[in-house]
Structure 1
Amino acid sequence: MTDAAQDDVFRDDILVPAVDGYPLAATLFLPRGPKRYAVLINSATATPRKIYRGFAAYLAQHGAAVVTYDYRGIGGSRQKDVVGFNRPKSLVGFRASMADWAMLDVTAAVSWMRQRYQHLPLNYFGHSFGGQALGLLTNNAEVSRALFVASQAAYWKLMTAPERYRVWTYLNLIGVPLTNTLGYAPAWSGIGEDLPKEVFLQWARWVMKPRYLFDDASLVGRVTNFSNYTGKLRALCFADDPWATPAAVALLCSGFDAIRPEILTIAPDDVGVKKIGHFGFFRSEHRDTLWQDAAAWLLRE
């Protein structure tokens, strides 16, 4: 996004309290004109909120109040008290799981948006884990419509070859043993950022299960909360994404059994590029294609 385009919106770094009071680092993007929508952007695993700032500003230009934020242990939310607190040298002993991200962090972010923008439609954007989390929320009925990008039930056998074998090998022979030894999952082992120990281990357990998180009997709300969502849902699947394959996206969407999710598979050729993959949607080169179409669907009454 150009500097001129970014100047079209107001941005403010804020803190959003999680359900248990943990401060989540967030950024609020506001249009200079009237606000007509509220959009919460929910991140992928090991992905800081800065990845989404271009798309967030784009939505704000089109009349949306947008919030991006970091789950606990990630990016700015690795800090323990307030913005500016020195980061710990490692995440050893830091207590958090993927279930905590959904039930404590995402749930609170939805509530914060709903309370602040009571008279606006609340829309939800989920990338990878960010889409998975919607089905686990006790308050997902507050969301009017949800757009998923590369969100999937990430069972390893649903990934494309040879990526599925690389993932299996990494998790079982490197990632899990290393995480148990060090007390956290280090970024240098091949993930985006350092991850809290139980975040990584819970994710690794899900990846090994044929129905991913749906097979985790310890996961509160894995059935009932998915069924509670009755808003609109569109899931974007990219043909060259080795992780969020059509089968994996369909498996996640099948959990939302109170509605009929719409799944769109997009090939790079469809938008005139060579690759999109798991993260490519957020490149500014898609401003007039993928972003435009996403905003047109997401920003509706």
Structure 2
Amino acid sequence: MNEQVSIRCADGARIAGWWHRARATPRATVVVAPGAAAEARFYMPFCEHLAETGHDALVFDFRSVGESDIDRRRRRECGFSTWIEQDYPAVLDHAHANARHGPMIVIGHSAGGWMAGVQPAADRIDALIGVAALSGHWRHMARPHRYAHWLAWHALVPASCRMFGVWPGMIGFRRNMGPRFGLEFSRWARRRDFVFSEPAFDANAWRFRGHLHLFQIADDPWGTKAAVADFGGRFPNASGCVVETIHKDADGGEPIGHFGVFRKSKARTLWPRLVGAIDTARDAARRH
């Protein structure tokens, strides 16, 4: 059963979400958090797969993305900190209020993963499964990509955001983003502690006590082993941490990259590994 819902945030904004429900009592409640600028519809087939394998899955669009549209003024004021402080807690409140059974597990892709660990409701997550969730400090990026990242975060993105009021999609993501996104990310990407350099966000990470399972994609130039390991080491009170690398040979030698795990073509080869991680996380949450 699929159901579209409207989720109200504390500041009055509303974001769009979609439940994909298991036919019977679910094994777990899973929140699927998109990567930055990625729309919920990209993850819909995976959510349907979760429902078919006995899980209730909730996916959503962060504000200013997809069907979570906002007016021009709010779009200009929106940044990663808005998603962290407003959208994420609202989604988790809604998920808890409408959960039928099982632990609360977040599968966060890229920014959807690293934001999950620093948002105010981090202590209400029983397990976080990160797919290409990483520390975005430019030195962690693979060579030669790191040099382009250095130029982007030290010069191109801040200059564009201040001069033109936009983070161009050609510098980072596939769509234009508001200036606050660019200014925040470029500031964090220049710091070795990345988003954890913000005291409030770091304090939220310390409150996370759930199970952590991180998938590192071997051919991902952003989510390198160093970037994923650095992120995983930021949760000193996690009940456990597993870092698992997915190599191309797991999918017949085909490239996977930063976005590939959630493509429908990976349903047979890679999605069972994510479902297995959910099962492991569920058992860890019950023991904890």
The answer to whether the superposition gives a TM-score over 0.5 is yes
Shift of 1:71: 1.3
Shift of 1:168: 2.1
What root-mean-square deviation, in Å, do the aligned CA atoms of Structure 1 and Structure 2 show?
Answer: 1.9
1:72–1:78 Cα contact (<8 Å) kept: yes
Equivalent residues in 2 for 1:235-246 (5 A)? Answer: 235-246=214-225
What is the distance in 2 between the residues matched to 1:105 and 1:33? 29
- Normalising by structure 2, report the TM-score: 0.90
Structure 2's unaligned 5+ residue stretches are 284-288
Which letter does structure 2 place at the counterpart of 1:264?
A: E
Equivalent residues in 2 for 1:220-259 (5 A)? Answer: 220-259=199-238
Counterpart for residue 184 of structure 2:
202
What is the distance in 1 between the residues matched to 2:96 and 2:9? 14
Counterpart for residue 183 of structure 1:
165
Which letter does structure 1 place at the counterpart of 2:269?
A: T
Counterpart for residue 280 of structure 1:
260
SS of corresponding position for 1:76: coil
What is the distance in 2 between the residues matched to 1:134 and 1:127? 10
Counterpart for residue 103 of structure 1:
85
SS of corresponding position for 2:143: coil
SS of corresponding position for 2:17: strand
Q: More deviation in 143-152 or 129-138? A: 129-138
Shift of 1:62: 1.2
Identical amino acids, percent of aligned pairs: 25
What is the distance in 2 between the residues matched to 1:167 and 1:138? 29
Q: How big is each residue's C-alpha offset from its partner over 1:128-166, in whole Å with a ceiling of 9 and x where there is no partner?
A: 111111222222222222110000001111101111112
Counterpart for residue 39 of structure 1:
30
2:154–2:190 Cα contact (<8 Å) kept: no
Counterpart for residue 151 of structure 2:
169
Q: How big is each residue's C-alpha offset from its partner over 1:77-118, in whole Å with a ceiling of 9 and x where there is no partner?
A: 1234xxxxxxx5xx7862112111111101111111011116
Q: More deviation in 247-256 or 271-280? A: 271-280
Counterpart for residue 246 of structure 2:
266
Q: 1:142 to 1:173 in 2, by over 3 A?
A: closer
Q: How big is each residue's C-alpha offset from its partner over 1:16-59, in whole Å with a ceiling of 9 and x where there is no partner?
A: 11222210012221223333321111111121111111111111
Shift of 1:188: 5.0
Q: Say how many residue pairs are matched.
A: 280
Verify: 1:124 aligned to 2:106, yes or no: yes
SS of corresponding position for 1:12: strand
Counterpart for residue 54 of structure 1:
45
What is the distance in 2 between the residues matched to 1:264 and 1:61? 24
Structure 1's unaligned 5+ residue stretches are 1-9, 81-87
What is the distance in 1 between the residues matched to 2:229 and 2:253? 25
2:250–2:269 Cα contact (<8 Å) kept: no
2:20–2:57 Cα contact (<8 Å) kept: yes
2:26–2:100 Cα contact (<8 Å) kept: no
1:114 to 84, 96, 100: 96
1:93–1:183 Cα contact (<8 Å) kept: no
Which letter does structure 2 place at the counterpart of 1:129?
A: A
